[in-house]
Amino acid sequence: MEISILDYGVGNLNSIKNSLKHLNIKNRFINTKKQIKNSHSIILPGVGTFYHAMKNIKEKDLYDSLITHIKIKKKPVLGICLGMQLLFSESNEVTHQNGLNILKGKIKKINFVKKKNIHDLNVGWQKIQLKKKNILFNQIPNNENFYFLHSYAAYDLNKKNIIATYKENNRQIITAINKDNTFGVQFHPEKSGKYGLKILENFCKI
């Protein structure tokens, strides 16, 4: 099976491609409606802002094809970092912007109790807590470390769709989600060592 990596102008594409190559998983970049239509599994990467990511998706005329792939055909999709956030209803990053609305919930700035750095980002390794069994985390132990780079996170999500969280000053930050054929991780599996690679491998088996 070939895994499609959506190139919509915002994303860390090559590191994902190299990780899949390391796993001997055939993959390709896609950026057209026809390619989305002909894909089985899609990885939705993302580095940047929610507003500009959705703007690119709409300007490249990919929005309706993505909705068809996920909601109607119910084919697998994995959102990574910003890619996961795009799966939600809306965000207030930069300005208000509607998302793909696959999951009900909002993307909001994390209210850090202690300033992380000059940009108030959560950068680095975080130990995550698994909330339930899920195919995405098959053969991955609880409380393992994964690499994060974000300052916004998902809120107001139905608890049944939450796979994992991490703690930020005793608050639970949503880390991984699943609804039917839709999966998302706030961390970067392509930068998270062997268990990050295992996340990608598990998704590619769906």
- R_g (Cα) of the chain, nearest Å: 16
Q: Is 204 a residue of the active site?
A: no
Give the active site residue among 93, 144, 150, 190.
190
Reported for 62-65, long-range contacts at CB under 8 A and 24+ positions apart, including other chains, are 62/6, 62/8, 62/31, 62/32, 62/33, 62/36, 63/100, 64/33, 65/33, 65/36, 65/37
Give yes or no: 22 in active site: no
Q: Which residues contact 177 (CB under 8 A, 6 or more apart)?
A: 84, 87, 103, 154, 157, 161, 162, 163, 183, 184
Q: Which residues pair with 177 in a beta bridge?
A: 162, 184
How many Å apart are CA 22 and CA 20, to the nearest integer? Answer: 5
Active-site choice (69, 93, 150, 188): 188
The token pair at 105 is 């919930």
Which of 81, 93, 144, 204 is labelled catalytic?
81
81 has catalytic annotation: yes
Residue type at position 66: L
Structure tokens at 24: 């001997």
Number of Cα atoms under 13 Å in the Cβ half of residue 73: 17
Q: Annotated active-site positions, please? A: 81, 188, 190
